[in-house]
């Protein structure tokens, strides 16, 4: 069962820029647009919603996987990995996965359309890869793009964006957004859990 970690990096698909950084909480839903052939129904086993707690470039994500329970993901820009805590066999396990710092892969094509998402006006951007892959992003210029490392072309905080991972295409959309103070405890790496290597997790899930 290799699908469990597939969604994780998608939630760190963005990068800090120059505007006001966001601090607070965002609730997202995940809609699966297409699956690889033979994977029909797998989307029911993947996260459907997620809560992001954000302070500038730091992000904590709580998401529920129907067959695997709750997961916590922690990203801090000063670290070269993101950390994922999962509940497996009634035990809390933590593993680190190195972040990939690849060069920009998309050509940004600004669009004239705007729409309101969670009370904020957003602008549309189309990103096109050298391989012809096209993804759609709606972002608010009110806040900087503070949530990760993969789409530095976006000059604001994405509130709806598409991701393609391992042949799965899905759309992440904000359901609510709330500015509030966030303290350091949200981004601490827990010590009272079993630490395992990501390769060990893959063997367990096979």
If you average pLDDT over every residue of the chain, what do you get? 79
Lowest mean pLDDT among 82-86, 134-138, 152-156: 82-86
Higher-confidence residue: 69 or 197?
Answer: 69
Q: Is 10 helix (H, G, I), strand (E, B) or coil?
A: helix
Q: What is the average per-residue pLDDT within 184-199?
A: 75
Given a cut of 50, is residue 15 above it in pLDDT?
no
Q: Higher pLDDT residue, 184 or 202?
A: 184
Q: Which residues contact 202 (CB under 8 A, 6 or more apart)?
A: 2
pLDDT of residue 68: 67
pLDDT at 93: 74
Q: What is the pLDDT of residues 24-67, one digit of tens each?
A: 999 999 999 999 888 888 888 888 999 999 998 888 989 887 76
Map tokens 């367990």 to a residue.
Answer: 204
pTM: 0.79
Order of strands, sheet of 58-65, starting from the edge strand that comes earlier in the sequence: 106-117, 120-129, 134-140, 157-165, 168-179, 23-34, 49-55, 58-65, 69-75, 81-88, 91-98, 194-195
pLDDT at 102: 53
Q: Please spell the DSSP secondary structure of 84-114, one letter per residue.
A: EEEEETTEEEEEEEEPP-PPP-EEEEEEEEE
Tens of pLDDT along 92-151? 777 777 766 555 578 889 999 999 999 999 999 999 988 888 889 999 999 988 755 557
Q: How far apart are CA 167 and CA 35, in angstroms?
A: 6
Whole-angstrom distance, CA of residue 21 vs CA of residue 113: 24
Q: Return the pLDDT at 159.
A: 95
Report residue 151 as tokens: 């789409």
**Which region among 74-83, 141-150, 193-202 has the lowest average model confidence (pLDDT)?**
193-202
Could you give the C-alpha distances from 186 to 61, 96, 183, 189, in angstroms and in order?
A: 10, 17, 6, 9
Which pair of tokens denotes residue 202? 């893959």
pLDDT at 138: 96
User: What mean pLDDT comes out for the span 184-196?
Assistant: 78
- Distance, in Å, from the CA atom of 194 to the CA atom of 165, rounded to the nearest integer, reads 27
Q: Span 169-177, mean pLDDT?
A: 95
Task: Please state the φ and ψ torsions of residue 38, each to the nearest 5 degrees.
Answer: 90, -5
- Domains along the chain? 4-205 (2.50.20.10)
- Both tokens of 136, joined, read 């759609």
Give residue 10's pLDDT band: very low, low, confident or very high (50, 70, 90).
Answer: very low
Does 3 have pLDDT greater than 60? no
């Amino acid at each position: 069962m290799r699908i469990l970690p597939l969604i994780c990096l998608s939630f760190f698909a963005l990068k800090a820029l120059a505007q006001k950084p966001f601090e607070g909480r965002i609730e997202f839903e995940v809609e699966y647009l297409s699956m690889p052939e033979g994977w029909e129904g797998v989307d029911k086993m993947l996260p459907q919603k997620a809560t992001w707690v954000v302070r500038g470039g730091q992000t904590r994500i709580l998401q529920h996987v129907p067959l695997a329970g709750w997961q916590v993901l922690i990203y801090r820009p000063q670290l070269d990995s993101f950390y994922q805590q999962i509940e497996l066999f009634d035990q809390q396990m933590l593993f680190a996965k190195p972040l990939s710092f690849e060069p920009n892969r998309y050509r940004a094509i600004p669009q004239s359309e705007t729409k309101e998402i969670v009370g904020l006006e957003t602008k549309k951007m189309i990103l096109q890869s050298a391989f012809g892959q096209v993804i759609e992003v709606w972002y608010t210029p009110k806040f900087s793009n503070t949530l990760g490392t993969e789409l530095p072309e976006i000059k604001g905080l994405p509130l709806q964006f598409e991701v393609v991972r391992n042949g799965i295409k899905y759309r992440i959309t904000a359901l609510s957004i709330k500015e509030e103070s966030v303290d350091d405890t949200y981004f601490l790496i827990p010590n009272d859990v079993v630490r395992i290597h990501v390769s060990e997790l893959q063997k367990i899930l096979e």
